[in-house]
Structure formats: C-alpha cells, structure tokens
Structure 1
Amino acid sequence: MTKIPVCLQMYTVRDDAQRDLAGTLATVARLGYAGVELAGYAGKTAAEVKALLDANGLQAIGAHVGVDTVIGSPAQAIADAKLFGYDYVIVPWIGKPYTESLDGYRKLGAELSAVAPQYADAGLTLCYHNHAFEFDLSEGDKTGLDVLFEAAPDVQAELDTFWVKKGGQDIPEYLKRLSGRVPLVHLKDMDSQGNFAPVGAGTVDYPALFAAAEAAGAKFYMVEQDSCQAPLTPLESIQISIENLRAWGKV
C-alpha cells in the first residue's frame, strides 16, 4: 500500500513561525514532513509564505480558514487556495450560536452546504475540523458532529483524533463511521493526564488508528500539537512525532 503522506499543521509551531518563518519551515522540511497545513501567515503576505514553502520544497496541502470567511467570502478563500495550490479548505473552529443546540449544527451544515458547490466548482474540497464540544450534545446515537455531517453531505471531515478521544469517543469507530469522507486525519497524542503529547508518546492506540484511517480512505496525516509540555519545545515535539512515525514505517 502507498504510504499516506505525513504533513504538519503549522499551528503547532506558530510561535516559532512568528519569530522566524523561514527557519521554521527549513526545520519542518529537514525533519521529513511532506508538506504543511496552513493556519495563518505568521505576519507575512500569502505570496511571501508561498515563496518560502517553495524554497524549502514544501507543499501546502490545505489551510484552516475562519468559518465567516468560508461562508461569507468564498471567493477570497478560493483565491488563496489557488495561489498556494492546495485542495482542502478547512473550517477549524466554530462558536456560539452553532454549538448551543443540535439545530445549531444543522444550521451550520446548511450554510456550509450552500457554499460547498462554489468550492467544488473550483476543484476544492470543503472540510470541517472537529474539537470535543461537538460530542457534548446528542440525539439518540447521533452526536453533534454526526448531525452536522448529515446536514452537510458535500462537506468532508478533517478528523482530529485527540479531540475525538477527549470527547469520550472511540477513534477507530469514528473513522469507520466517516468512511469515505475523511481525507484528512489529525494525529495528536494524549498523555495519561489528558494533555497534548507528541505522536507516540501518549495513550492513543496508533496501530488501531492507522488501520481504521487507511480503511476509511484517509489521504493525508497531519501532525498537530496544540500546546507542548515543558521542557519540550514545539520543534522538539514535532521531531519526536515524526521520528516515531518513521519508526512505525509511516514516513
């Protein structure tokens, strides 16, 4: 089986990038990441970021784009995607009133569905990235995340595995539930205290995760760590993550 490319969500190294984007991207490339997922431009212009990615041989796979922009300014989101050449536009976060009720998730699904054809016509895939709060509400055996995806059949999933576990769900089961519509999988480990940890340094069952992700049709793995526990720095943490993935034959 062809290996699924392992990329880095740049939010992980946001502080390093703000200080020295060129040096940070050079480190990401040296460590062996196949590409990146953008989360802002670290104070640079989009054109400057693109030039630095090209200089380091890194491909932008997708970007986290605010829900207001995705829904309200699709032309801008599409133009940015075309500049970088990525295929995935991802909603990374939502707040009230969407999260207050299952009808809020249905409303969001309808709004995303209304603009999804514009992204599809541009050759792009619109995705939604979960946290744990989508699992706080349920209707029978359906969670808020299920309700959202049911209301937005043209929207794909970027499943954040840490938040699935934090939300009390089974990661392989959720990957199975989203089979065929989960092209992006965030790899993010959890220590015994429930904190973020480098991939392979926590409690996530990665053999089961990988088997389920591959069966579900995942196209990219995205290493992400929202925060790093001292004494490890973000750059040290992403090195541990990719070294573990390499040892498992995933890189």
Structure 2
Amino acid sequence: MASLSVQLYSVREALADDPRAAFERLVGLGFEEVELFDLVRWGPILAGPLGDLPLRAPVAHARIVGNADVADVFAAARELGVTTVIEPAVREGWDDAASVDRIAGRLNALAVDAAASGLVVGYHNHWWEFGDVGGRTAFEHFADHLAPEVVLELDAYWAATAGVDLVALGTRLAGRIRHLHVKDGPLELDPATQVPAGAGRADLRGVLRAVPDATRVLEFDAAPGDVFEALAASAAWVREPEGAR
C-alpha cells in the first residue's frame, strides 16, 4: 500500500505556535510521514521534534529552480533525512514550448547536483501549468523533457481545477508521478473552499487508481474549521478500501 503523508503547510499556524504539539497531534491521528515546506527556513525549527517523535520526512518542498545556489537546500535535506526535494512552484514560463523546456532543463541540471548528494529532485504543479502548448498541456510537454530521474508530484486538486481529466493524466504519467497531493473542493481557485478528500468534485477515486504506488500526501491550502479534524477525515477516506470509497 502506498504511503500516506501530510504536507505540513496545512498545519503551518499550529507549527508556528508549537511545533512539537502539532507533530504530536499528527502522530495521534496515525500519521508516520510528513512532507516539509520551506525547507531551509523550517528545517532547523522542526529538527528537534522530528528527531524525538515517530515521524519520517523523506520529501520536502524548497525553491530550487530559481535559486542560484542550492547548496544550503541540499545540506538542510541531508540533515533531516530528506531524500527528495520538490520545487513547489514556478509561476512564469508555461506559455510556450521554449520556456517550458528551460524549466525542464534547469531541473535536469539540478538532478545531477542532487544525485551527488544522494538526493532526488522533482516538481509540484498548480493550475497554471495546464495551458495549451503545441496541442497538449504545458505540463505534459514539460514531463516529456525531464530527465528520467526527475520526479513529479501531481497536485490533483489544482490539476482538476484547471479542467484536466485526472484519470487520463495520471495514466499517461503514472511512471513519473511518485507523489500525489490529495485534496478536494468545488474546483475553484479560492483555497478557502477546500474540503476533506472525497467531499468535493475532484475525481480522487480515479486518480488514486491511476497512480497506485504514489505517496498520498494530504494537503489543505486552507481548511474548513479545525485543520487536524479535516486531515483526519481525509485520512479516513483515503484509508478506506477502494470499494468503500
């Protein structure tokens, strides 16, 4: 069964108040894995609680594509036991093939440097990567120009909000998608409308089947009510046998 994780951006306010208490709540909900964000800033803050509690953090988000010197990012990753560093967002450059190729080329170069440190790099999408480039989405053009060792983290909700068929996309890119952001809602850009997994309009059932081995990473950009309760509801839905979902 694929791993189940939580993107810690979801609980950023609780982490700012008391990192250890936030982690203890996640452990109490049965989570054994978390995904870090803003690695260089938060790494030193979270190192202590991560070391003391039964939580792994194999994946982290960090700005690397536009970062001229990623040595500090890779050093922070090694210190925390992170093995995969994901670029969380590149906002510009998805309107034409040449620009998309440059983004892919930068990640390919970073993958070489990362491998020397025992690390893997990848990319996490939003909605803006799915415009038309040469008769298909910029995201798929991008994927075709990545080196094999660069992984994808598909944010299912933002892809669905962009109008993408999640099952078709997941099926086409199943070999590249190693991590899947699982979140739901009415397919709107306003993050305040997000809801627990299975309660919205995203075809999460379909994409979970399409990428069965990808890590399931629960995330809320904004959560209704208590974010820990919302994460618990999402986790319960994801953990249900497929036939029950």
Q: TM-score, normalised by structure 1?
A: 0.87
The answer for the alignment partner of 1:143 in structure 2 is: 137
Moved more, 180-189 or 196-205: 196-205
The answer for the alignment partner of 1:64 in structure 2 is: 61
How much has 1:192 moved relative to structure 2? 6.9
Counterparts of 1:156-175 in structure 2, within 5 Å, are: 156-175=151-170
Instruction: From 31, 50, 54, give the equivalent of 1:53.
Output: 50
Q: 1:126 to 1:43 in 2, by over 3 A?
A: closer
The answer for the alignment partner of 1:190 in structure 2 is: 185
Q: Give the Cα separation in 1 of the matches to 2:65 and 2:101.
A: 16
The answer for the alignment partner of 2:69 in structure 1 is: 73
CA contact (8 A) 2:91 2:128 kept: no
Identity of aligned residues (%): 26
Q: Give the Cα separation in 2 of the matches to 1:52 and 1:27.
A: 12
Q: Give the Cα separation in 2 of the matches to 1:40 and 1:193.
A: 25
1:202 matched to 2:196? The reply is no
The answer for the alignment partner of 1:237 in structure 2 is: 230
CA contact (8 A) 1:102 1:137 kept: no
Q: CA RMSD in A?
A: 2.2
Q: 1:188 to 1:73 in 2, by over 3 A?
A: same
1:86 matched to 2:60? The reply is no
Q: Give the Cα separation in 2 of the matches to 1:180 and 1:206.
A: 18
Could you list the per-position Cα deviations for residues 93-151 of structure 1 after superposition, in whole angstroms to 9, with x for gaps in the alignment? 1123x2343322111111111221111232221110011100123211x2111122222
1:11 matched to 2:4? The reply is no
Paired residues, number: 239
Q: 1:193 to 1:94 in 2, by over 3 A?
A: closer
Q: Give the Cα separation in 2 of the matches to 1:196 and 1:164.
A: 14
CA contact (8 A) 2:127 2:161 kept: yes
How much has 1:208 moved relative to structure 2? 2.0
The answer for the alignment partner of 2:97 in structure 1 is: 102
Q: For residue 238 of structure 1, what is the amino acid of its counterpart?
A: L
CA contact (8 A) 2:130 2:137 kept: yes
Q: For residue 239 of structure 2, what is the amino acid of its counterpart?
A: R
Which runs of 5 or more residues in structure 2 are unaligned? Answer: none
Q: For residue 86 of structure 2, what is the amino acid of its counterpart?
A: I
CA contact (8 A) 2:60 2:84 kept: yes
CA contact (8 A) 1:191 1:201 kept: no
Q: For residue 120 of structure 1, what is the amino acid of its counterpart?
A: A
How much has 1:64 moved relative to structure 2? 0.6
How much has 1:72 moved relative to structure 2? 2.0
Q: Give the Cα separation in 2 of the matches to 1:223 and 1:188.
A: 6
Instruction: From 131, 147, 153, give the equivalent of 2:147.
Output: 153
CA contact (8 A) 2:95 2:138 kept: no
CA contact (8 A) 2:40 2:62 kept: no
Could you list the per-position Cα deviations for residues 68-90 of structure 1 after superposition, in whole angstroms to 9, with x for gaps in the alignment? 56x52232222111111121100
Q: For residue 164 of structure 2, what is the amino acid of its counterpart?
A: Q
Moved more, 238-247 or 164-173: 238-247
Q: 1:42 to 1:234 in 2, by over 3 A?
A: farther
Q: For residue 190 of structure 1, what is the amino acid of its counterpart?
A: G
The answer for the alignment partner of 2:211 in structure 1 is: 213
How much has 1:241 moved relative to structure 2? 1.0
